[in-house]
Amino acid sequence: MTDDVIPKTRRPGDPPPQLEDYALARERFSWTAARASLEGFPDGTINIAHEAVDRHALGPRANHLALRWLGRDGTVRDFTYRELSEASNRFANVLDELGVPPGDTVFVLAGRIPELYIAVLGALKRGCVVSPLFSAFGPEPIRTRMTIGAGRVLVTTTSLYRKKIAPIRQDLPALKHVLIVHDEPDNELPLHTMELRTLMGWSPTTFDVRHTRPEEPALLHFTSGTTGRPKGAVHVHGAVVAHAITGRLALDLHEDDVFWCTADPGWVTGTSYGIVSPLVNGATMIVDEADFDAARWYDILRDQNVSVWYTAPTAVRMMMKGGAAAAAQHSYPKLRFIASVGEPLNPQAVRWGIEAFGLPIHDNWWQTETGGIMIANFAALPIRPGSMGLPLPGIEAAIVRRLDDGSVAAVDTPDQEGELALKRGWPSMFRGYLGEDERYRKCFSGDWYLTGDLARCDADGYFWFVGRADDVIKSSGHLIGPFEVESAFMDHPAVAEAGVIGKPDPVAGEIVKAFVALKPGFDATPALERELLAFVRRKLGPAVAPKEIAFAPSLPKTRSGKIMRRLLKARELGLPEGDTSTMEGDAPAANGVAHAAASPHVGSAPTDPESAAR
Ligand code: ATP
Ligand code: MG
């Protein structure tokens, strides 16, 4: 907790915030009213793709720019709502022609190319369940996910097919149709595949969108695998109500916004907010094919007049490494709102936004399972740096304690730690972990969904992330959240990133051990180690400060850019590493940041900025 607050000022010319009075917005909110702001069909059905695209394509926004695609090589392709509607209709017709029935699962394994977006929307129109896979996955994680999802159709590229699908195709008996974006014109199309562009060229541009029931499955998203084996969370068409309203309230999306979500659609952020939410809200969305590159990102923010930018802590940390001056070289007159998700956003990062862009960064919290933003720092409210913010209207969040009989008790005392729980009933809540009913059931106690994250709630209702339940450290009777300790390290000028674990200790139970990656120009000397230990001890006090530090060139992360503390711990203790299918590669790629378009989130030597793209 802190008294530190960043007040809100509105710049002349900014549109009025979508949520101006938090208390009033909560009081007046109802999911029924939120649903009424969308169109739906007269029979009570609703289809995500109709709301995202066709509703606009059939109205006055038909010629508004829906998607601007920035190719790696400098190519730009623009799609109006009408064009996106027609292209996705063609894709839906291809599925129809192939006899793929509604309910079957369509996987998409592709970089951020236009066909990915068209295929996702077209498959939703057909009533198929779509699962976008992160294109940097190797054959094994792909095989596991496509087996769990019983993928009937796969959309991919020739190059990805050769490397990743051909070796496992015989293990995928459910896979009937492989639709290829042929990106190797000098080579023949692989055997037993079909050229997507040709099929789409033959298909009509009109399609009768399936009137899906609100509870009909629409999206299958796998979790990041930060704490263990990834789970396949199922979301339904009715979720679009939450995608729409959370984009408006938490990201302050307005119709005329140019919105850039840097997450890759292989992760949930890249679908809920990298496809559905901006389109449903009638905005223009930017998609960058390339992986993370700080200079490129600054250029995109400026040249594309991005007004709302949704990114991830890893990306922010990577940009911070280059210094605020790199950002401040440009001006960003159109940029109005910056938000981040995926990991805790250190207070330093919130403030760095002001230095770099003249705007603080707004942290928000949610999970693959929640389908949409649940807790947020809103455009109109002061920010408490380090806090995830306040629950969205329509969302009831609480801090609870699990009891032995399986029930939960509310922790009503402010600032007490406990598990973050959400009252069920919001439309984008997952409806199951595919093939893992028991694991799903265990997430609930009565009306409460238990998130597995520990947090505390202050007297004003702001939620503060403590750590994942699995990562919390118990030392000499204290419960220590890694986030607090890591943030203390981040205040030191030498530190690029820090990951903190509990190491078993016969006396204390556990001691706090920190793994630290340094910024370029700093050497891992014993003197610096002593200096860092003293620095953090001064900030946190001896009970919470780490007893040991190890320097590392970078920290292990998921491809979505999250620090894998369980791996730091397993390695420290010489234990098996468990499921590492979502771990980013060792080879330093030049990008890869993003729950955003680039991909995951990152650190130190540019590891995998792809992650930052989620
Ligand atoms: P797995 O469930 O497979 O271990 P994961 O939980 O990392 O993976 P996601 O659903 O992508 O998979 O991530 C959600 C989690 O990310 C949250 O439960 C939380 O631990 C963390 N997270 C997301 N946003 C924030 C935030 N703003 N502050 C702190 N933690 C966050
Ligand atoms: Mg999780």
Q: Which of 70-84, 244-258, 439-453, 531-545 has the lowest mean pLDDT?
A: 531-545
How deeply is 592 buried, as exposed, middle or buried, from its count of CB atoms within 10 A (0-12, 13-18, 19+)?
Answer: buried
- Domain ranges, ordered by start, for the chain: 22-456, 473-607
C-beta of 265 in contact with ligand 1 (< 6 A): no
Encode pLDDT of 235-268 as tens digits: 999 999 999 999 999 999 999 999 999 999 999 9
Kindly report the CATH number that applies to the domain delimited by 473-607.
3.30.300.30
Q: Which ligand is nearest to the CA of 365?
A: 1
Question: Do 114 and 67 contact (CB within 8 A), yes or no?
Answer: yes
User: Does 591 score more than 90 pLDDT?
Assistant: no
Residue 82 CB–ligand 1 contact under 6 Å: no
Single pTM value for the model:
0.91
Indicate if ligand 1 lies below 6 Å from the C-beta of 83.
Answer: no
Q: At what angle do helices 482-490 and 526-540 cross, to 10 degrees?
A: 120
In this structure, the strands spanning 375-376 and 361-365 are antiparallel
pLDDT surpasses 50 at 589? no
Q: How large is the average pLDDT for residues 501-512?
A: 90
Q: Is the CB of 341 under 6 A from ligand 1?
A: yes
* Among protein residues, the one whose CA lies closest to atom 18 of ligand 1: 367
Task: Say if CB 366 and CB 339 are below 8 A apart.
Answer: no
Tokens of 328: 């401040």
Query: What CATH homologous superfamily does 22-456 map to?
Result: ANL, N-terminal domain (3.40.50.12780)
Q: State phi, psi for 239 to the nearest 5 degrees.
A: -60, -20
Sequence length of the chain is 614
* Closest to 244 (Cα-Cα) out of 253, 256, 233: 253
| 548 CA → ligand 2 middle, Å | 28
**pLDDT tens sequence across 473-502:** 988 877 788 888 998 999 899 999 999 999
Lowest mean pLDDT among 11-20, 27-36, 476-485: 476-485
Q: Which of the four pLDDT bands, split at 50, 70 and 90, describes residue 597?
A: very low
Please give the distance, rounded to the nearest whole angstrom, from the Cα atom of residue 367 to the centre of ligand 1. 5
Alpha helices (runs of H) in 275-430, residue ranges in sequence order:
277-280, 294-303, 313-321, 324-328, 347-357
CA distance 529 to 549: 7
Residues near ion ligand 2 (CB < 5 Å) are 223
pLDDT tens digits, 179-231: 999 999 899 999 999 999 999 999 999 999 999 999 999 999 999 888 888 89
Please tell me if the CB atom of residue 203 comes closer than 6 angstroms to any atom of ligand 1: no
Q: Give the separation between CA 309 and CA 286, rounded to whole angstroms.
A: 10
Q: What's the angle, vertex CA 89, arms to CA 83 and CA 90, rounded to 5?
A: 95
Provide the pLDDT for residue 585: 66
DSSP labels, 438-494: HHHHTTEETTEEEEEEEEEE-TTS-EEEEEEGGG-EEETTEEE-HHHHHHHHHTSTT
601 pLDDT exceeds 60? no
Instruction: For residue 2, name the pLDDT band (cuts at 50, 70, 90).
Output: low
Q: Report d(CA 345, CA 339) in Å as an integer.
A: 10
Instruction: State both tokens at 15.
Output: 């549109």
Q: What integer is the mean pLDDT of 366-375?
A: 98
**Which ligand lies nearest to the CA atom of residue 464 in the structure?**
1
Mean pLDDT (the chain) is 92
| Confidence grade of residue 612 (pLDDT, cut at 50, 70, 90) | very low
Q: Is 227 in the pocket of ligand 1 (CB under 6 A)?
A: yes
Residue 484: the pLDDT is 85
pLDDT at residue 138, as a whole number: 86
- What confidence tier does 324 reach under pLDDT thresholds 50, 70, 90? confident
The CA distance from 332 to 358, in Å, is 9
Helix (H) or strand (E) holding 540: helix 526-540
Q: What is the pLDDT of residues 532-584, one digit of tens each?
A: 999 999 888 888 899 999 999 999 998 878 899 999 999 999 998 888 888 87
Asked if 373 and 365 touch (Cβ cutoff 8 Å), the reply is: yes
pLDDT given at position 543? 82
Residue 368 Cβ inside 6 Å of ligand 1? The answer reads: yes
Ligand with minimal distance to 339 CA: 1
> How many whole angstroms from 603 Cα to the centroid of ligand 2?
21
DSSP string, 28-45: H--HHHHHHTS---TTS-
What b-and-e string marks burial along 206-235, b requiring 16 or more CB atoms within 10 Å of the CB? ebebbbbbbebbbbbbbbbbbbeebbbbbb
- What pLDDT does 163 receive? 95
Cα-trace Rg, the chain: 23
The finding on whether 453 has its CB within 6 A of some atom of ligand 1 is yes
Do the Cβ atoms of 274 and 596 come closer than 8 Å? Answer: yes
